[in-house]
């Protein structure tokens, strides 16, 4: 499953690389604004249904709840389409363009089918159809990539790309329907079950909405203050490397049951030990990646987006600094501790703070202010959550975070990466050479930090190789 998600992420990166090269700045800006709109609407309108889907379809009563899940998803999808003229108008007002209204019909179809897609993966998992996940992920995304290549070769416009995007999501929908097809009776559809599906996932849905808004506030503010060309440059600079979410999520999702068990046993010492061990293990991966992208920001932007977006380099470099703080996924701790609401409140506080900082700093110093606002919000949120974790575990904040090893690892990684960047720049400014040195930077940093900071991941890899 992780391999399938990594494949999907890689195909998405390739599609962005192609689109950023062949679309003109304004059209690419419109496309990135559309992505923001789709992420926000699918998160808001899904109402936490993905969580309800996982819960009810994993139970012994899944056959009773399956038609109710369908009814809820289809109903919300239809409503999404009917209200799409209002949604597109709101986005046009924020971004001060007429792109959304002009293309409201195809956008309405995309918003509609996106609702179902938000729950598709959870359906496959809950109904024990995980073996079909590679087909579910690869077929739509290979179609999408083929369509992008065709569009690039024949110089198709943005409307054509939106059609391909819609068909891609339609394929997600159709494949899900085919693979999860089970007999059910319409008599199983009841108001009580529909209400249960709607209400169960609502708290999770609210958290997801807050998370999506937080990750897109900077783009909404920049889109309101500046034109689509500036937005295109900024959105490429404010680009988070997607692989890290998959790596971190895989580790900390596995950690939740262990933490929960220790909380139930009232063993705070054991919780603290597991928590710090997980964070230390992430240092040898996260810090080398972060340092490499911070130092090699210019070749990264040139490789991902082309020379056309060279102005995005300062944004990209600063934005990658937030990766250093990603050695923990704090949601895992709060879920295991039974403090999900506290985690949601933290996210809401961070979102409001981020919005205020974005507006103030963008007004004062321009687009770079949005990146600084994001960094400040991340730093304050991390400190807030660490304070809360220390109180829950009844220990000092110094004990819940590996401050010394984390700081030393950052200094070491930045030093090694800078030396390699300067060396590569002296030899040549060829992008292939830069990419080669980026790879060398990560590898050296990984082995050095595994040697002097924490060797858990390296030990695991070596044992895996020996078993193979």
pLDDT tens, 404-422? 999 999 999 999 999 999 9
pLDDT of residue 259: 83
Q: What share of the chain is helix, strand, coil (3-state, %, to 5)?
A: 85, 0, 15
Residue 139 in this model has a pLDDT that exceeds 60:
yes
pLDDT tens, 305-350? 999 999 999 999 999 999 999 888 888 888 788 887 888 888 889 8
Q: Please, are residues 149 and 18 in contact by the beta-carbon 8 Å criterion?
A: yes
Residue 62 in this model has a pLDDT that exceeds 70:
yes
Residues in the chain, total: 468
pLDDT of residue 3: 62
Task: Centre a 10 Å sphere on the Cβ of residue 187 and count the other Cβ atoms it contains.
Answer: 8
pLDDT tens, 24-43? 999 999 999 999 999 999 98
* pLDDT bracket for residue 4 (50, 70, 90): low
Q: Please, are residues 444 and 421 in contact by the beta-carbon 8 Å criterion?
A: no
* pLDDT bracket for residue 184 (50, 70, 90): low
Question: Which has the higher per-residue pLDDT, 133 or 166?
Answer: 166
Q: What is the mean pLDDT of the chain?
A: 89
pLDDT of residue 253: 64
* pLDDT bracket for residue 207 (50, 70, 90): confident
pLDDT of residue 70: 87
Residue 425 in this model has a pLDDT that exceeds 70:
yes
Residue 166 in this model has a pLDDT that exceeds 70:
yes
Quote the crossing angle between the two packed helices 431-452 and 297-305, to the nearest 10°: 130
Task: Centre a 10 Å sphere on the Cβ of residue 159 and count the other Cβ atoms it contains.
Answer: 10
Q: DSSP string of 311-360?
A: GGHHHHHHHHGGGGGTT--HHHHHHHTT-HHHHHHHHHHHHHHHHHHHHH
pLDDT of residue 2: 59
pLDDT of residue 93: 97
Question: Which has the higher per-residue pLDDT, 31 or 457?
Answer: 31
Q: What is the mean pLDDT of residues 128-141?
A: 88
Q: What whole-number distance in Å separates Cα of residue 442 and Cα of residue 243?
A: 14
pLDDT of residue 1: 56
Q: DSSP string of 85-127?
A: HHHHHHHHHHHT-SHHHHTHHHHHHHHHHHHHHHHHHHHHHHT
Question: Which has the higher per-residue pLDDT, 409 or 271?
Answer: 409
Q: What is the mean pLDDT of residues 120-127?
A: 83
pLDDT of residue 167: 97
Token code pair at residue 134: 């590679």
Residue 118 in this model has a pLDDT that exceeds 80:
yes
Token code pair at residue 311: 């102005």
pLDDT of residue 254: 67
The 8 Å CB, 24+ separation contacts for 255-260 are 255/332, 255/336, 256/332, 256/335, 256/336, 257/336, 259/332, 259/333, 259/336, 259/337, 260/335, 260/336
């Amino acid at each position: 499953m992780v391999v399938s998600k990594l494949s999907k992420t890689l195909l998405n990166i390739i599609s962005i690389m192609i689109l950023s090269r062949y679309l003109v700045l304004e059209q690419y800006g419109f496309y990135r604004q559309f992505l923001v709109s789709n992420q926000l609407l699918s998160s808001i309108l899904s109402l936490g249904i993905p969580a309800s889907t996982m819960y009810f379809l994993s139970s012994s009563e899944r056959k009773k709840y399956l038609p109710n899940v369908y009814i809820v998803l289809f109903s919300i999808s239809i409503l999404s389409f009917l209200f799409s003229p209002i949604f597109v108008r709101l986005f046009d007002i924020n971004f001060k363009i007429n792109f959304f209204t002009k293309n409201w019909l195809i956008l309405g179809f995309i918003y509609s089918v996106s609702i179902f897609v938000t729950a598709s993966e959870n359906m496959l998992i809950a109904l024990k159809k995980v073996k079909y996940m590679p087909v579910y992920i690869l077929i739509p995304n290979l179609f999408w990539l083929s369509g992008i290549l065709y569009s690039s070769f024949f110089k198709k416009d943005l409307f054509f790309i939106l059609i391909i995007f819609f068909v891609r999501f339609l394929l997600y929908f159709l494949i899900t329907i085919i693979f999860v097809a089970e007999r059910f009776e319409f008599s199983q559809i009841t108001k009580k079950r529909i209400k249960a599906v709607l209400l169960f996932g609502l708290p999770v849905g609210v958290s997801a909405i807050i998370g999506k808004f937080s990750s897109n506030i900077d783009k909404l503010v920049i889109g309101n203050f500046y034109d689509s060309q500036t937005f295109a440059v900024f959105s490429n600079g404010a680009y988070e490397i997607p692989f890290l979410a998959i790596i971190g999520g895989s580790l900390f999702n596995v950690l939740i049951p262990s933490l929960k068990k220790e909380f139930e046993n009232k063993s705070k010492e054991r919780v603290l030990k597991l928590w710090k061990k997980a964070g230390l293990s992430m240092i040898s991966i996260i810090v080398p990646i972060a340092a490499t992208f911070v130092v090699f920001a210019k070749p990264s932007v040139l490789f991902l987006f082309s020379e056309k977006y060279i102005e995005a380099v300062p944004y990209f470099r600063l934005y990658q600094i937030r990766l250093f703080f990603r050695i923990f996924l704090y949601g895992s701790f709060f879920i295991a501790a039974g403090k999900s609401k506290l985690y949601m409140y933290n996210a809401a506080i961070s979102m409001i703070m981020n919005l205020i900082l974005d507006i103030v700093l963008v007004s004062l110093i321009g687009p770079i202010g949005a990146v600084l606002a994001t960094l400040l919000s991340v730093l304050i949120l991390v400190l807030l959550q660490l304070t809360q974790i220390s109180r829950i575990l009844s220990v000092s904040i110094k004990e819940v975070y590996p401050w010394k090893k984390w700081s030393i690892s950052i200094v070491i990684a930045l030093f090694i990466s800078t030396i390699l960047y300067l060396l590569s720049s002296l030899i040549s400014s060829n992008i292939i050479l830069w990419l080669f040195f980026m790879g060398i930077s990560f590898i050296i940093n990984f082995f050095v930090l595994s040697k002097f900071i924490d060797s858990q991941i390296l030990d695991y890899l070596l044992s895996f190789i020996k078993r193979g």
